[in-house]
Amino acid sequence: MGTYEIGLIIISIALLGTVVLPRLLEHRPLSFPMIYVVLGSLLFSLIPGAPALDPIANSSLTERLTELVIIISLMGAGLKLDRPFSLQTWTATWRLVVVALPLTAGSVAVLAWGVLGLLPATAILLGAVIAPTDPVLASGIEAGAPLTEFEEEQDPRYEWGTVRFALTSEAGFNDGLAFPLTNLAIVIAGAAFVRPEVWIVDWLLVDVFYKIGVGIVLGYLIGQLMARFLFRLPTSGSIADMMVNERDVMAGVEALATTLLAYGITEQLHGYGFIAVFIAALTLRHSEWEHDYYVELHDFAVLVERLLMATVLLLFGGAIAGGLLSPLTWLEGAIGVLCIFVIRPATGIISYLGTAASWPERAVIAFFGIRGVGSFYYLSHALAESSFHEAELVIAAEELWAFVGFVVLASIIVHGITASPVMAALDKRQQEEG
């Protein structure tokens, strides 16, 4: 059996699973990602002639495929959020992004440097890769589709909001805000002959202020542009109204167009495309709050995301079957377990100290910092940079992939099993209190 035929089998399973699995797994201690990783591992183990999957040898494909699924997921995440955007009403998000993200990255980096003996640049990279909560694999704990929590989220007194809002908004922002940390590792890896005061200033001005600023500004402008295109063109009826009324088969495709436009333009201007996509989604969502067409936009984005996610997870399972985790040592495995059960929960709790959030809410938000496809993207992106082609780091690449693969696999299993029962219990508690 050839590689082409195997690819067709993988695509067919991905398509079927996106239709059937969400319904079958609802309210069960299993998740969509868990099933696909297992299926991928079985397929690549049992099908004769299945190729060995190596994310290092296929780094360009790995980077682009994970990049695509992340940006589609960021659009879906932004469209889910019914809460008006402001510094005050999004306090829950800022605390996770400003406190939990850097604390998680720093803790992992210190352990990687002090315990695993990695070079400083590699240790910082590992911290940046592991830190973000992933928007792709968080479907079991995310906010619902647009308008499902509209009245609750519109209440200006609702400062802390739901667990789902906090985790969805965190995942939307921190997948872009982990980029400066990744770029810091890249800069340090190539700065052996550059004075620290030079590269630090350059990193702050370019990788922090300029690229984040460009992402925010372009995301807002493109979101406004698409909102006017959809809802305010001077025609006999807006495009959104026509699509809803006529039940057009292409309804919602504008979500994909907005995603690709925001990401492509921002990356061309050397900004952070991840941030631009999420800001564009939020801006688009704020245009016509109660329009039914947001459901179409969201559903189309989720459909594309599921197809791409299924493909990535099947390939991840195949990589595991091909020996991705073989270089993992028991010490690395122990640190990986710490990341899931200690480091992220601790930094999440710290970020909510002194707030009005209840302790059950804090505990759930802190625990469900899901690691996922974003970690694969950042690692493949960084290792493709010339500064990481030094001999020591090339040798460490397999070890890094084993560690990150283990953390993501552990997160998929642990959070996949616990998400449904924990969220159901939390919802029940909140209903009883309300």
Q: Judge whether residue 342 has pLDDT over 60.
A: yes
Per-residue pLDDT band at 113 (split at 50, 70, 90): very high
The conformation of residue 144, written as its DSSP 8-state character, comes to: -
Written as six digits, the tokens of 37 are 């990783």
Buried b (16+ CB within 10 A) or exposed e, 72-107: bbbbbbbbbbbbeeeeebbbbbebbbebbbbbbbbb
> How high is the pLDDT of residue 130?
93
DSSP characters for 385-410? SGGG-SHHHHHHHHHHHHHHHHHHHH
- Residue with the bigger pLDDT between 50 and 64: it is 64
Render pLDDT for 71-110 as a digit per residue (tens, 0 to 9).
999 998 888 887 877 777 888 889 999 999 999 999 999 9
Mean pLDDT, all residues of the chain: 82
pLDDT at 330 over 50: yes
Tokens at 403, concatenated: 């560690």
Closest CA to 410 of 378, 369, 379: 369
Is pLDDT of 195 > 50?
A: yes
Phi, psi angles (nearest 5°) of residue 16: -65, -40
User: What ranges do the domains of the chain cover?
Assistant: 3-433
Express each pLDDT in 17-38 by its tens digit. 777 766 666 666 667 788 889 8
Q: Using an 8 Å Cβ cutoff, are 25 and 31 in contact? A: yes
Between residues 81 and 347, the one the model is more confident about: 347
Which distant-in-sequence residues (6+ apart) come within 8 Å of 222 by Cβ? 258, 261, 262, 265, 276, 280, 283
How far is residue 191 from each of residues 2, 102, 106, 113, measured CA to CA in Å?
45, 22, 20, 18
Q: How many other C-beta atoms can be found within 10 angstroms of the C-beta atom of residue 415?
A: 25
Identify the pLDDT of residue 419. Answer: 82
Q: Span 189-193, mean pLDDT?
A: 67
Two tokens, residue 17: 């699973």
| 135, amino acid identity | P
Residue 404 has pLDDT above 90, yes or no: yes
* CA 291 centroid distance within chain: 27
How many residues are given for the chain?
Answer: 434
The CATH fold assigned to 3-433 is: Na+/H+ antiporter like fold (1.20.1530)
Closest C-alpha among 309, 307, 298 to residue 34: 309
Buried b (16+ CB within 10 A) or exposed e, 18-37: beebeeebeeeebbbbbbbb
pLDDT of 135 > 70? The answer is yes
**350 or 425, which is more confident?**
350
Find the mean pLDDT for residues 108-120. 92
The alpha carbons of the chain give a radius of gyration, in whole angstroms, of 21
